[in-house]
């Protein structure tokens, strides 16, 4: 049986799905009886996906900003 500590320490593994069938089974079993870890994992999942999305935002350097501006300008000119 997993302890709360096992769950919190292995949280990223559980989220990433880098677990064995047995680990997933044990985790589910623990979550059924432990509302604390249910909340914790839910929160953890939210934070992880939020930080992923942040990482996916491409860096806006001067060059891309300039080319974006050019594209935007030509679009505006097309419309007029």
Residues at the site binding Zn ion, with contacts judged by CB under 5 A: 4, 34, 37
- Separation CA 15–CA 71 (nearest Å): 39
CB neighbour class for 70 (10 Å; exposed up to 12, middle 13-18, buried from 19): exposed
Residue 11 or 37: which CB sits closer to Zn ion?
Answer: 37
For Zn ion, the closer CB: 15 or 34:
34
Minimum CB separation from Zn ion for residue 7, in Å? 5
Q: How far apart are CB 36 and Zn ion at their closest, in Å? A: 5
DSSP reduced 3-state for 24: helix
Report helix, strand or coil for 12: helix
Name the minimum Å distance from CB 26 to Zn ion. Answer: 11
Of 33 and 60, CB closest to Zn ion: 33
């Amino acid at each position: 049986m997993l302890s709360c500590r096992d769950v919190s320490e292995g949280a990223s593994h559980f989220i990433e799905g880098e677990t064995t069938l047995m680990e997933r089974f044990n985790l589910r079993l623990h979550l059924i009886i432990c509302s604390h870890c249910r909340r914790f994992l839910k929160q953890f999942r939210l934070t992880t996906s939020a930080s992923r999305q942040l990482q996916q935002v491409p860096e806006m350097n001067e060059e891309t900003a300039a080319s974006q501006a050019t594209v935007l300008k030509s679009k505006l000119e097309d419309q007029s």
